[in-house]
């Protein structure tokens, strides 16, 4: 068969954004081709009862999900099980369509298995994305909707952007994620303060009973991150996703001086912050870990540090469509080694 390594050599001849668009086209076609989709799903989608759990009242057949940023416009959902994912997160969507930042705005560093993006929430806008979602929701795997404010929306009106997005997507998603941690929208990270978070989640809880999570950046000081998370939880957040991309450019030599880094370069930084958050927040809210996860061992360590679910994106570019299956198979092996009969026993094991 045509291996992913062979395909990767072709894709890597294109600039990263073009390669992404090619991949999107391929996955959209795959989603419509029943035979190919069924073949890939049988090969990659792990549904072992040992990995199954209910979160937010919804069944997750396995704990590995696709992080936001890959499927910005909800066009690839039908292919997600074929890649092995137990859930998927679309977006980030904004109320109005926006083109994002100037190109080039995506860079890959194969020697570091890392990616840098300065996309800037490029998407077709909430109305169009909602139309795409309505074609598939409810779906066979849970769908999260990651939402953010438009670039042109002043900070003092940011709440209105999030309000309109929550109202739009609450009925066509299993959970919502507030994104104020992307480094690619000017001043967005300034909203990572306790006052705004409290106002935002207080408003959100008045609008919907759907679970709403906060996604945080990896570049905050630990105590500040903990305080921010507590503000969100006390105001009604159903969980925390840690972390977004980093602006610590020392992690990849000679990288760009803008945008966010993700992939293997983020593994240590994201894992370290998540570990500290787990010590403080495990048992108090749902924790989802993302950032540099490409192996079952890394995913399992995050799970033992308190993660109910994990997510990946950048690693998929380097590892290919068999990655999620391998992660889940390795998690099962590690669970067996530790004597666990269900993943729920492994969650937070390092903290018990």
Write out the catalytic residue numbers: 182
Residue 319 contacts by C-beta under 8 Å, 6 or more apart in sequence? Answer: 4, 294, 326
Token pair listed for 337? 């080694």
CA dist., res. 225 & res. 216, Å (int): 8
Write down how long the chain is.
352
Instruction: Look at residues 217, 122, 131 and name the one whose alpha carbon lies nearest to residue 172.
Output: 131
CB atoms within 10 A of CB 47: 12
Classify the C-alpha dihedral 8-13-15-20 as positive or negative: negative
Annotate 172-187 with b (16+ C-beta within 10 A) or e (fewer): bbbbbbbbbbbbbbee
Token pair listed for 205? 């809880």
User: Which residues, in sequence order, are bridge partners of residue 126?
Assistant: none
């Amino acid at each position: 068969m045509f291996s992913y390594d062979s395909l990767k050599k072709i894709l890597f001849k294109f600039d990263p954004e073009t390669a992404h668009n090619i991949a999107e086209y391929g996955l959209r076609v795959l989603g419509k081709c029943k035979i190919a989709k069924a073949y890939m799903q049988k090969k990659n989608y792990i549904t072992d009862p040992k990995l199954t759990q209910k979160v937010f009242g919804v069944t997750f057949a396995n704990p590995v999900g696709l992080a936001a940023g890959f499927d910005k416009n909800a066009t690839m959902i039908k292919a997600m099980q074929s890649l092995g994912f137990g859930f998927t997160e679309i977006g980030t969507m904004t109320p109005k369509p926006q083109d994002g930042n100037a190109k080039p705005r995506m860079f890959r560093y194969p020697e570091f298995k890392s990616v840098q993006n300065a996309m800037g929430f490029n998407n077709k806008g909430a109305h169009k994305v909602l139309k795409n979602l309505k074609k598939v929701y409810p779906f066979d795997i849970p769908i999260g909707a990651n939402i953010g404010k438009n670039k042109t929306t002043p900070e003092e009106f940011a709440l209105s952007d999030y309000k309109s997005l929550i109202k739009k997507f609450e009925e066509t998603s299993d959970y919502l994620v507030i994104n104020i941690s992307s480094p690619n929208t000017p001043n967005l990270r300034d909203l990572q303060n306790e006052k705004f978070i409290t106002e935002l989640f207080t408003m959100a809880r008045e609008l919907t009973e759907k679970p709403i999570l906060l996604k945080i950046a990896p570049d905050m000081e630990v105590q500040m991150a903990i305080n921010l998370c507590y503000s969100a939880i006390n105001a009604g957040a159903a969980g925390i996703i840690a972390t977004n991309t980093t602006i610590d450019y020392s992690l990849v030599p000679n990288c760009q001086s803008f945008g966010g880094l993700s992939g293997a370069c983020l593994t240590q930084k994201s894992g370290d912050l998540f570990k500290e958050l787990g010590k403080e927040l495990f048992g108090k809210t749902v924790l989802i870990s993302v950032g540099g996860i490409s192996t079952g061992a890394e995913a399992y360590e995050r799970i033992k540090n308190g993660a109910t679910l994990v997510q990946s994106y950048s690693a998929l570019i380097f590892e290919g469509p068999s990655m999620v299956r391998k992660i889940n198979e390795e998690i099962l092996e590690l669970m067996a080694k530790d004597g666990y009969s269900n993943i729920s026993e492994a969650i937070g094991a390092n903290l018990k």
